[in-house]
Chains A and B, each alone.
Chain A
């Protein structure tokens, strides 16, 4: 199997992609949304004509809400970002935006998150990420408990986890770049996307590892087995189904991205990337790594 033969090349590609993702993460940083840092987001649509931005900017600045960010949306709308607003401040804001009711508008949405709620959610998100990672590690260890030759079961788990990190890192890097250029914000859905990728990607790796497990069991009678060959054979047998199972999910995700609600657009995109690289990594990263580990073991 050419993948096993050129394993170092494929592993290098993954390493480069992950490095680029991490680099963009450090260069651009996260654009944290109000879900986590607190603040208010008001979306309004004017009924007839949208007032010019500099006029609104001036009157908004005099409200004393600190920095107010005004973003045009659609043909008649603005999204206004401020610190979190109380009920009366919210009314004042709407009053100002409508130029004292001279330019009627409809408020499409208003979202004000107090700083404590944001901190809480951050804590929750971090806990969820830790717990899900732990649960998946335990699950992998359990699933591969019976396979120990020639590579011991915990190494399968370790490689599955490395693959997992790879699958998460690349979509995150992609998201950071998107948020830098298109203003996507790190919100609750982002965290959900990361966690879902964890689940989806590991299931894909398991399909291929399962095949290796089965082939190893069947070949047990032969005294000398070439591990690389078995992995290659397993890959050959299972890459079509691995791609197909991911493809069905990617198809629905693309439908969600192109036709679905605006609020889940970036979510769908991240998951698509996660699915894509999850499949890529289970074929081009996890299995080559497995062979590489076995080769190192032999050298010792």
Chain B
């Protein structure tokens, strides 16, 4: 008997602890959140794009030129390149996923899905992803190459510099890595390049043949630096010391290191949600969840009295566990995900209703409270199991098939179904057991009977 009460208390304390974690790790609910422990700081709710605002882009990868066996590898390489490019721009928690074509996914061909939270300027986002830095090295054209000079209306002469230089084989393809350095004398930022083996050979050849001449470094078709070669450079190292600002230099280094796209991509669809729309959806979702919970609690207590109250406490623990799981797994919450969670609040007490109705029935047939409770739990079990299985099947298949929107719903609903089996049966049973001290008196029978006595 005391054992049961102690067990119930332990569960209450544990539940309270989980609820405290959920509460304390939420920036909005705590005033001095910045001073809290890093563990709490690292676990806010992760909001999907439709709630936080942001862009969702779907690209189709053109893999026609890739040999069949290497499709997976080149898609992963593509994902890495795009991830690096996005990281350059400081987007928090971008998600870049490869979706392989196939029967189950339903995708036609290989796709790349890019989620950019907080980026509501699609144009900027698309540019950020699509930009491939084109680095070229050009040498002086042989003397006597005609130069294009144009004279405009005001008599100003413009000399087009491009024919002065001819392309070489050396491009950014042969780059091993780029690093940002600062000139020791002038403190000016410069970008130093290290070529790979092929690039080193090409560069050595170019410098050898052009001692005393200019070698132009072109970025995206425009010359950014035209140094004069003093001697052959055999070690494959070059320095671009244009007049960069430190930020420009850093960006260039990042772009050069992220490299070119291994396969060409085309944009299939875009979705952008403004931050205001997302915020109002979050507020509405929270409001609906609280009202839904209150309605269910009221319903349970009015209809089932003491067991109803206990079920409400179990429901609170259920909600705490679910919310903590959302934070820890983490589950990306979307509007549909919140809907799934709210529905799971309603489903979670289904088992309680089935058990309590059964207990009432057993009480009416003249059994003691204690016997009725154990009979109620064991006899209601089959209905609970069967009705939860069907919901679980739906959630699993939806999760397996779904787009990110459906997945969010399926995941929250599925988690809800599993956790509710535990909370509504095990936790409620322990709590009810702890109440065995109230005996079999009239008051006790009243407390265990239905609000709608029949």
Contacts and interface: CB of A to CB of B under 8 A. Distances in A.
Nearest to B454: A240
A244 B357 contact: yes
Contacts of B303: 244
Given A112-B271, A189-B336, A255-B295, A203 B382 contact: no
A256 B386 contact: no
Instruction: Tell me which of B50, B338, B357 has the highest count of chain A C-beta atoms within 10 A of its own C-beta.
Output: B357
A185 B296 CA distance: 30
A117 B58 contact: yes
Interface in B257-307: 267-274, 276-277, 280-282, 284-285, 287-289, 291-293, 295-296, 299-300, 303
Interface in B92-111: 105-108
A2 to B, nearest CB: 17
Contacts, number: 223
Interface in B377-421: 379, 382-383, 386-391, 393-395, 397-398, 401-403, 405-406, 409, 413
A211 B347 CA distance: 20
Contact of A263 (B291, B335, B379): B335
Contact of B403 (A90, A188, A195, A206): A188
Contacts of A107: 120, 272, 274
A128 interface: yes
Contact of A127 (B106, B335, B339, B403): B106
Interface string A185-204: 00011011001101110111
Interface string B344-375: 01110110011001100100000000000000
B276 A260 contact: no
Interface residues of B, number: 75
B346 A116 contact: no
Interface residues of A, number: 72
B336 A252 contact: no
Contact of A207 (B276, B281, B383, B398): B383
Nearest to B358: A241
A90 B123 contact: yes
A293 interface: no
A270 B29 CA distance: 33
Instruction: Tell me which of A120, A128, A210, A261 has the highest count of chain B C-beta atoms within 10 A of its own C-beta.
Output: A261
B453 to A, nearest CB: 12
Contact of B354 (A108, A207, A214, A253): A207
Contact of B284 (A120, A131, A188, A260): A260
Instruction: Tell me which of B120, B379, B402 has the highest count of chain A C-beta atoms within 10 A of its own C-beta.
Output: B402
Contacts of B291: 255, 258-259
Contact of B393 (A135, A268, A271): A135
Interface in A101-137: 106-114, 116-117, 119-121, 123-124, 127-128, 131-132, 135-136
Nearest to B387: A203
Contacts of B287: 259-260
B60 interface: yes
A24 to B, nearest CB: 25
Contacts of B395: 199
B386 A206 contact: yes
B353 A244 contact: yes
Given A124-B401, A248-B296, A249-B350, A256 B342 contact: yes
A264 B335 contact: yes
B198 interface: no
Contacts of A119: 108
A75 interface: no
B49 to A, nearest CB: 10
Enumerate the 10 nearest inter-chain pairs by beta-carbon distance, A residue then B residue, closest first.
A199-B394, A203-B387, A249-B346, A255-B292, A252-B292, A260-B288, A261-B281, A252-B346, A124-B106, A241-B357
Interface of B: 50, 58, 60, 105-108, 120, 122-123, 126, 267-274, 276-277, 280-282, 284-285, 287-289, 291-293, 295-296, 299-300, 303, 335-336, 338-339, 342-343, 345-347, 349-350, 353-354, 357-358, 361, 379, 382-383, 386-391, 393-395, 397-398, 401-403, 405-406, 409, 413, 452
Interface of A: 43, 84, 86-87, 90-91, 106-114, 116-117, 119-121, 123-124, 127-128, 131-132, 135-136, 139, 143, 188-189, 191-192, 195-196, 198-200, 202-204, 206-207, 210-211, 214, 237, 240-241, 244-245, 247-256, 258-264, 267-268, 271
